Structure 1
Amino acid sequence: MQTEQYKTNKTPYQKNSNEPPELLKAPRMDDVEAMAARSLPNAIGPEKSLLSSMLQDPAEYVMKAEEMGLTPEHLYHPSHQTLYRVIKEISDGSGAIELVSLTQKLMDQGVLENIGGAAALTEIYTYAPTAAHFEHHLGIVKDKYILRNVISSCTEAITRSFEDQEEVASLLDEVEQKIFAIREGADIEQAPTVKEDIKKVLDNFEQFLADGGAPMGIKSGYNQLDTMCNGLKSGEMFVIAARPSMGKTSFVMNIIEHICLDAKMPSMFFSCEMTSEQIVQRLLFARARYAITNLRNGFKPTKSDLLRIKNAAEEIATSKLFIDDTAGISISELRAKARRKKKEEDIQVIAIDYLQLMKSTSKQAQNSREREIAEISAGLKALAKELGIPIIVLAQLNRGPENRGGTPKMSDLRESGSIEQDADMIGLLYRTAYYAEDQEQRDADDGIAELNLAKNRNGPTGSIPLTFIKELMRFETRSFESEPE
């Protein structure tokens, strides 16, 4: 007598199963096709209500829609997109928005029939008896738009996950970028209009005049540098390059110290070479102006020294300085961490020490160091534009300066082609004593330093005189005539 097999809801991990375990089931293609066949999320009624309110009281609700960020792309139905686009054109041209002239405008553009003719326009005009729920309906329309973007991004991600199985890191980076853009309520495909750009330019110009000609960007703490570059501006990449042991890390930490501790702006520092503890130690003693060499020579700090160290420690501990010391961080990982920190803490500047210690995980970069550096450089520039903040990148120079008595050039940048192209500014840091031929000359030149601003996309180039105080790991402004401290 055969017994009926006992049926149960066994998981793949349960014993005595007659079938091989399945740890993860892939989505069936017919399920994907079924989802694609469904209508995308939309809210036709609220869309018509918004347009109706705009037609009945354009002075109030067309402006309100624009202030709340409504664009034609937020509307699902093509006819509604067309109608709203024409309404905006009339509004931007300071024309009167009423049914007769609007009908004529649609006829002149040959799109009246696209929205269903004059009868459909009249129906939309009378659709909403009151505009009391305008903001509520606008919120519904935006929510549906976000859902459509999520579906679009996820569908593209699913498709590419099947097709591009060798470019996992870059795919993950792009998917995360799009999801973050949706979360911010922004369409990453949409470019700002000239009208929006000119408003920003004029606003910046008015602020420049109101501040008496002060730099429009973030101040670095070095007046001559700020004057030449007009401050560190959003979307720009500033490359500071030098030979090893020239003081690149000290210089960028001096800038971060000013931005984060003096200007109180959240900042992020990626250190591929030093640990976070070493970075904080440098920052602490430089801030307290206490010679770090004293730690190795057994000197006992005075009460004044201890007070300065205590005050500096409190400043740093309460600041919004975020340090990531992941060694050999990839451009994809760095971008992901920067996006999260921008979202969570609204960081205003990023510094990276240094570019050649980063890596790219794309397949094309595996066999070409030049291609890898190009991808990293382009990725950092794109990140600056995406987050709307300046990014300071340290870079290593090759041995070219040694052949010319120490004077660096942009062409000395390792794998320099892409870096020179992507950077908005390139500063070449140089200390005279580093290349002195004898001790006497080294002592005479001790402390003399320069930052040669070799590239400045939006301003003049030239040398910025500095003084390097080695014991304090600090660069300070120096006039050409003055002697080093």
Structure 2
Amino acid sequence: MNMTENDQQKEEGPLALGLRQPPANIEAEQALLGALLTNNRAYDRVSDFLAAEHFANRVNGRIFEAIARRIEAGQLADPVTMRAELEHSGVLESVGGMGYMAKLLGSMVGIINAGDYGRAIHDAWIRRQLIDIGETVVNNAFGISGGLSGPDQIEAGEEALFKLATEKGKEGDFVSFNRALAGAIEVAAQAFENDGHVTGLTSGLRDLDKKTGGLHPSDLLILAGRPAMGKTALATKMAFSAARAIMEDTSDKGGKPKGSVAIFSLEMSAEQLATRILSEQAEVSGERIRRGDIGQKEFDRFVRVSHELSSLPLVIDDTPAISLSAMRTRCRRLKRTQGLSLVVVDYLQLMRPSVGTRPESRVLEISMITQGLKAIAKELEVPVLALSQLSRQVESREDKRPMLSDLRESGSIEQDADAVMFVYRDEYYLQQRQPKETAFDSMDKYQTAMEDWQRRMGLVHNKAELILEKQRHGPTGTINLFFEGEYTRFADLDTMHDH
């Protein structure tokens, strides 16, 4: 074949594609409908994955819908009982009336094959959806619809494929109790080997691990709080501890780490987050590091610790306003290349929903984001820890400890989460209430108020509360933590601050 013929074939390729008929299996559709009309029990073989819209022939789809409606209402669906409904609705007019029902009955091979017919219909539908997605990708690339940049088009294409993959109605099945028991025993054995506490990934906080058993795959955990409470510091502590646990497990067994921790930092840059971790581990104030106000010994310690931490399986993505689809793609890639053990999102209100979606309200947008994060947790089988801001209504209360109701303005966060935690520091609010001399008419009253304030400050100094308000798999309650503001560091209270 010469070059000219090759070029001609390339030019004709798209035209030939355009002339192809979309995938369809009309014979399987007719055979299935015939089987359903002959014996309604055939419906049980396809009901959990097949829907009317999966049929290529619109009339066949409407007949299936009518049959399904009657069967699910506990009524008989056969040619006699279906006749009145189909004639009244005019469904059969375009295919020759009730004679088409006789054709369907003649197409029936046997109800034992109904599942195979259903899967053939469903497979053809998936292929048609793939063609539609492909056409949209091509049209967007040619700029026909406009409005989307190249990277946005990639995200939109990935999102459409993910939606098809997750919502295609694939068959589910029961898990035998025997198999479920085996899984439960495996989890119990893991807990026993880990001194009876942690079955998931460690959070680095002993008392939290006792209540939760660690961070578990497929769980969406929400860590919420008002600004300046230390959400990022606490999430960073958990991420760092998990990465160190992965590293230690690897060094015990030899070889490369089989997992990693991904932090999506939408508010702080990767450098700022790394400085926080270094500040905490080297015990050098982050503020002094930024000002350059550190001595040679502190700088040397800072550099030494940075070398020790450089091998941790911890990665940071600081893309601002990242979309759900981009996050999913990057997590999938990371799982494939390095393994993935934990995802941290700081914070979810700064995220965008998937490209191509336009939620009607902010509440709906947040709901789509939390549902998407839960989907990522389930699909990749990793815990997802998402930080969340709380509404200002907390500030208007006398007791400023957060409650679940403070989340409700933010869509379905509470509903989608497997665990909801609030971080609260009384010291922050009490600090703002320091008595001012000008507010008192005598020095004695001012001194009394000042002494009372100092006493109360002493009680809450360097203390924080982690309020586990919701947990699907275990108890709730308040966990007292040690908080060191200079290094923005959280730790177990009694080991660091024993009185």
TM range (shorter): 0.5 to 0.7
- Correspondent of 2:493 among 464, 478, 482: 478
CA offset digits 1:38-89 (Å, max 9, x no partner):
xxxxxxxxxxxxxxxxxxxxxxxxxxxxxxxxxxxxxxxxxxxxxxxxxxxx
1:326 maps to 319
Cα distance change, pair 196–178 in 1 and its aligned pair in 2 (3 A): farther
The residue that corresponds to 1:461 in the other structure is 476
Find the partner of 1:193 among 165, 175, 192: 175
**1:433 equivalent in structure 2:** 427
Distance of 1:24 and 1:255 partners within structure 2: 54
Task: Give the partner amino acid of 1:438.
Answer: Q
8 Å CA contact 1:284, 1:312 repeated in 2: yes
Cα distance change on mapping 1:344 and 1:27 into 2, 3 Å? farther
- Structure 1: stretches of 5+ with no match in the other structure: 1-6, 13-21, 38-110, 116-147, 182-186
- 2:105 equivalent in structure 1: none
- Distance in 1, matches of 2:211 and 2:192, equals 17
Aligned to 1:49: none
- Equivalent residue letter for 1:245: A
Give the deviation of 1:159 after TM superposition.
3.2
Tell me the matched-pair count.
Answer: 361
Which of 379, 391, 395 is matched with 2:384 structurally? 391
Distance 1:26 1:468 in 2: 67
Question: Which aligned pairs between 1:65-144 and structure 2 lie closer than 5 A?
Answer: none
Matched, 1:31 2:20: yes
Structure 1 residues 106-164: Cα deviation after superposition (integer angstroms, max 9, x where no partner): xxxxx99969xxxxxxxxxxxxxxxxxxxxxxxxxxxxxxxx99997554221356699
Match of 2:158 among 172, 185, 192: 172
Give the conservation status (yes or no) of the 8 Å contact 1:153–1:179: no
Alignment partner, residue 125 of structure 1: none
Aligned partner of residue 268 in structure 1, secondary structure:
strand
Tell me if structure 1 keeps the 8 A contact 2:480–2:492.
Answer: yes
Contact preservation (8 Å) 2:159, 2:355: no
Secondary structure of 2:20's aligned partner: helix
Shift of 1:25: 4.5
Q: Distance in 1 between matches of 2:358 and 2:192?
A: 47
Match of 2:219 in 1: 236
Q: Secondary structure at the match of 2:196?
A: coil
Q: CA RMSD for the aligned pairs?
A: 4.0
Residue 379 of structure 1 is matched in structure 2 by 372
Using the alignment, how far apart are the partners of 1:481 and 1:259 within structure 2?
A: 20
1:255 aligns with 2:255: no
State whether residues 273 and 327 of structure 1, in contact with CA within 8 Å, keep that contact through their aligned partners in structure 2.
yes
**Other-structure match for 1:451:** 466
Matched, 1:403 2:396: yes
* Structure 2 counterpart of 1:54: none
Deviation of 1:362 after TM superposition, in Å, equals: 6.0
Match of 2:190 in 1: 207
Aligned-partner residue type, residue 452 of structure 1: I
Matched, 1:367 2:371: no
Cα deviations by residue, 1:155-179 (Å, 9 ceiling, x for unpaired): 4221356699999756632415777
* Mapped contact 1:466–1:478 kept (Cα < 8 A): yes
- 2:60 paired residue number: none
Q: Distance in 2 between matches of 1:357 and 1:220?
A: 24
Q: Give the stretch that moved more between structures: 318-327 or 235-244.
A: 318-327
Distance 1:171 1:223, change over 3 A: same
Change (3 A) 1:261 1:479: closer
Which amino acid counterpart does residue 216 of structure 1 have in structure 2?
Answer: T
Stretches of structure 2 lacking an aligned partner (at least 5 in a row): 26-108, 114-120, 248-258, 436-449
Please give the per-residue CA displacement for 1:358-382, whole angstroms capped at 9, x wherever unaligned: 0114666433111110100001011
**Residue matched to 2:73:** none
**For the structure 1 residues 417 and 370, does the alpha-carbon distance in structure 2 shift closer, same or farther, using more than 3 Å as the test?**
closer
The alignment-based identity, stated in percent, is 31
More divergent stretch after superposition (428-437 vs 202-211): 202-211
Change (3 A) 1:162 1:452: same
Compared CA separation, residues 11 and 336, structure 1 to 2 (3 A): same
Q: Secondary structure at the match of 1:311?
A: helix
Going by fraction, where is helix more abundant, 1 or 2?
A: 2
The 3 A distance-change label for structure 1 pair 114 and 248 is closer
Tell me the amino acid that sits aligned with residue 175 of structure 1. L
Contact 1:400 1:408 in 2 (8 A): no
CA distance in 2, matches of 1:416, 1:410: 11
1: CA distance, partners of 2:416 / 2:373: 9
In the TM superposition, what is the alpha-carbon distance from 1:387 to its structure 2 partner? Answer: 0.7
Task: Name which of 251, 262, 269 aligns with 1:268.
Answer: 262
Q: Which amino acid aligns with 1:471?
A: E
Q: Distance in 2 between matches of 1:260 and 1:383?
A: 19
Q: Equivalent residue for 2:334?
A: 341
DSSP-derived class of the 2:285 partner: coil
Q: How far apart are 1:287 and its partner, in Å?
A: 1.7
Q: 2:418 aligns with which of 397, 406, 424?
A: 424
Q: Secondary structure at the match of 1:293?
A: helix
Q: Secondary structure, in 3 states, of the residue corresponding to 2:412?
A: helix
Deviation at 1:312, TM superposition (A): 2.1
* Paired residues of 1:410 and 1:416 also in contact (CA < 8 A): no
* Residue equivalent to 2:199: 216
Q: Deviations over 1:189-229 (max 9, x none)?
A: 55573354332222112222343312111110111100111
Check whether the contact 1:173–1:336 (CA below 8 A) recurs between aligned residues. no
Secondary structure of 1:286 counterpart: helix
Contact 2:244 2:312 (C-alpha < 8 Å) held by counterparts: yes
Distance of 1:358 and 1:27 partners within structure 2:
42
For 1:447, give the aligned amino acid: N
Whole-angstrom distance in 1 between the partners of 2:481 and 2:474: 20
Report the Cα distance in structure 2 between the residues aligned to 1:275 and 1:226, rounded to whole angstroms.
29
* Partner-residue secondary structure (3-state), 2:366: helix
Residues 318/359 of structure 1: CA separation in 2 closer, same or farther (3 Å cut) = same
Q: Supply the distance in 1 between the matched residues of 2:469 and 2:308 (Cα, whole angstroms).
A: 34
Note if contact 1:396-1:414 (Cα within 8 Å) is conserved in structure 2.
no
In structure 2, how many angstroms separate the alpha carbons of the residues matched to 1:198 and 1:298? Answer: 58
When residues 368 and 179 of structure 1 are mapped into structure 2, their CA distance, relative to the original with a 3 A threshold, is closer
